Amino acid sequence: MTMPGPFATLTSLAQCSDAELEALLEQADFGNFEPGRDLPPLRERLLRLERERGLTEVHRRFSDKVLAAGARLVETPRYIGMQRCFALSPDGRHLAIASNRLDESHGGDVRIWELATGRVVDAVGFETTLVGSTREPSCLQWSPSGEWLGVILGQVVIGVMRAFAGTLPSFTADVTRRWGSTPGGAVINPKHVENTGHLPAWCWAPDETRLFISTPGPDGALGCIVPFQEGARVKEDSEGLRWCPARLDGQPSKSRPHTWVRWSPDGSRIQGYCKDEFVLEPNASAAQEPHPSASSIDVRSGDLEYRFDALTLPVAFSPDGARLAYGEELPRLANGHTGSAVSDLSRDAELRVHAVEEYVWSRDGRRLAVLINNYEFPQVLIFEGGKRLCQVNLKRRSFGLASRSGDLGRWAWSPDGSMGACLLRDEGGTVELWKVGSSAKMLRRLEGASGIDGLAWGADDTLVGTGPHAIAFWDVNTGELRFRSSLELEPGRVPPPSDWNPWPDEVARFIPTERGWDFTRAQPDGTVVCPPGSREKLEPRLMFCVGGRHAWPWRWAEGTRHARWVDEAPWPVEPLAEAAFEERHVPVPEGETLAARDARHGKWGFLKQYQAPTRPLNHYKAEPVFTHGPAINRANLTPYLGKGVLLRQTQYGTWYALGALLEVSDEGILLHPRAPIGSYRERLLSFRDILWIGPAVPLETPEG
């Protein structure tokens, strides 16, 4: 029977019995199935069926029909390089994230996560280009309609791709090089900065026909308006590009480019702020220091409507741009259109403000959360219409760590502004949900927030938390943790050798085994290559992407024509001939003087022989593993003196070291060869600079 209108109503799916669900399977016309409308409630009902009865024939039969119109298999990676930029889609149902590659070499990825399932539904890889940045916010932005996604590429270029299409950018704007590169006179070798450009702030026009890019231009211009057209490659002299002269009161403003910009909803102005304004005015004091400023550009003329130089950070424009919250010691409101003062929020705060950490506007701009760090008394003040509404008492608990990019904060408003989520540092990381009104009421605590430094409250009652190497999704109604993943390699592991990858033309996917790695491959047609021993770990991360943006569990389709396991023979790798370790001796000359002995002890410790690893470090794992903190101490490491150890350092990115442990003291270790990061003035590598360490165990190579 053909069902007129919708495939099924949300109410009928949510409340139907198992028998009625089977009847729907028989009667529904799946030619009338619309993924955006019908898939989420159907998925929710089938999840309930799975909880109650396990996987059934009903799951397989629904999968066969839902996937018949076409879907591609997408794997949510087990390991991802550092996540750098974050952007919630306009409808609140997806989160875009730009990240490094796992080895932090050139290259990166933009992935789109579906909040309802906590899984990746789209991914675009860049093989040689860094994606996004942690230096400034808003490097990754959705267009107002959610059809496009723009991102900074290589710290200079803005690339725009069609969202959910899985394709590389079809539009680029590269306009910061001619006038925005570092002046040659500012560096020792001018050739090193010639035509290098800079990281630009940018934003979408409300109608998506233009972009504004903040960068120095000709004759003191402060940014340009770029026409957006799919397939275009825009340069500084491209047709249709318009520079904004940025005159202030009829004179050149001599302002610096913005750190953050937004186009006003009515399309008339571009507002933003600069973290380090430095205006070279005539007769300026030699002691003049860079300072923050806010300003507004009139779109029609390209001139500044105002520049507000009394600004202090932090700062946040309201969503409509009408108000500007700012100030660290005295929280204030200014008129976002004129820069004139509106109110002093501290007068209504009824407490002494030591330091404002963040300002966060609700989505409709009615309410403002002010996160205040008052030493042992952190608070969140809630304002509405410029007046204090209530106070969130955190009872001496500290805010969580701030994100590096600033894209997401430690307070997230619910879509309607009636509730807020606050990220706290206690117990390794927790989130509290608060109801706000004339008073504040704590609703529940969410666990599993370790490694999280930013929150976003999306649609479908979902809160997402992100960090450089972690992501978590919660149901705000129940507090249930829908999905959480640490995106780093497990302690004691380093990425496997590239020549172990059976598919060298693709980014390797791998799962740790007791003695090595299992390599896996999820193909778009639903075929999954994976050794049997690792299938249980891989299966929860496999989702079909239906309609371009909705996840459908691969396991529901197992046994149909759409999904199958394949156990291909691993890529044959010739085992290394040499032993994993060799014994070496420290030369002790006959008749050694006391001074020479002291020098030898300083370089080699007190050992006369040791076991030296002979293979590259990615041919080993550390086991057992001692992780950062009290576990890395003299007592735990002394048993491994003279043995090979593998470690990861805590500073300046991802650095591993493999060597012989020659000495252990109460402060650190002597490693040969030295670890790559550390002061050469210091003889020992400090315990505090070690993220994890353990005796090196050789891995087995994949066998053909």
For 362-406, write each residue's pLDDT tens digit: 999 999 999 998 767 789 999 999 899 999 999 888 999 998 889
Which of 60-74, 222-236, 460-474, 503-517 has the lowest average pLDDT? 503-517
d(CA 609, CA 406): 51
Q: How far is CA 47 from CA 155, 485, 517, 552, 598, in A?
A: 42, 20, 32, 11, 69
d(CA 71, CA 56): 21
Chain segment 651-701, per-residue pLDDT in tens: 666 789 999 999 999 999 999 999 888 777 889 999 999 999 999 999 998
Mean pLDDT of 101-124: 92
The tokens describing 703, both together, are 């066998």
Reply yes or no: is the peptide bond before residue 314 cis, omega within 30 of 0. Answer: yes
Band of the pLDDT at 519, cuts 50, 70, 90?
very high
Identify the pLDDT of residue 242: 98
Give the gyration radius of the chain's Cα atoms: 29
Is the entire prediction scored with pTM above 0.95? Answer: no
Is pLDDT of 526 > 90? yes
Q: How far is CA 46 from CA 121, 519, 664, in A?
A: 19, 31, 57
d(CA 698, CA 126): 32
d(CA 309, CA 70): 56
d(CA 637, CA 625): 10
The Cβ of residue 177 has, within 10 Å, a number of other Cβ atoms equal to 17
Is pLDDT of 279 > 80? no
DSSP summary character for residue 701: P
Identify the pLDDT of residue 346: 84
Identify the pLDDT of residue 354: 81
For every residue of 566-630, DSSP letters joined together read E-PPPPP-PPPSS-SEEEEE----TT--HHHHHHHHHHHTT-SEEEEE-S-GGGEEESS-EESST
CA 606 from chain center: how many Å? Answer: 46
For every residue of 406-440, DSSP letters joined together read -SSBSEEE-TTSSEEEEEE-GGG-EEEEEEESSSE
Is pLDDT of 546 > 70? yes
Identify the pLDDT of residue 2: 43
Name the nearest CA neighbour of 499 among 568, 574, 569.
574
Identify the H or E element spanning 56: none
Identify the pLDDT of residue 614: 96
Band of the pLDDT at 8, cuts 50, 70, 90?
low
The secondary structure of 235-299, three-state, reads CCCCCCCEECCCEECCEECCCCCCCEEEECCCCCEEEEEEEEECCCCCCCCCCCCCEEEEEEEEC
Is pLDDT of 184 > 70? no
Chain segment 280-334, per-residue pLDDT in tens: 555 555 556 789 999 999 999 999 999 999 999 999 999 999 999 999 988 999 9
Identify the pLDDT of residue 286: 52
Is pLDDT of 128 > 70? yes
Band of the pLDDT at 110, cuts 50, 70, 90?
very high
Chain segment 336-360, per-residue pLDDT in tens: 999 999 999 988 777 777 899 999 9
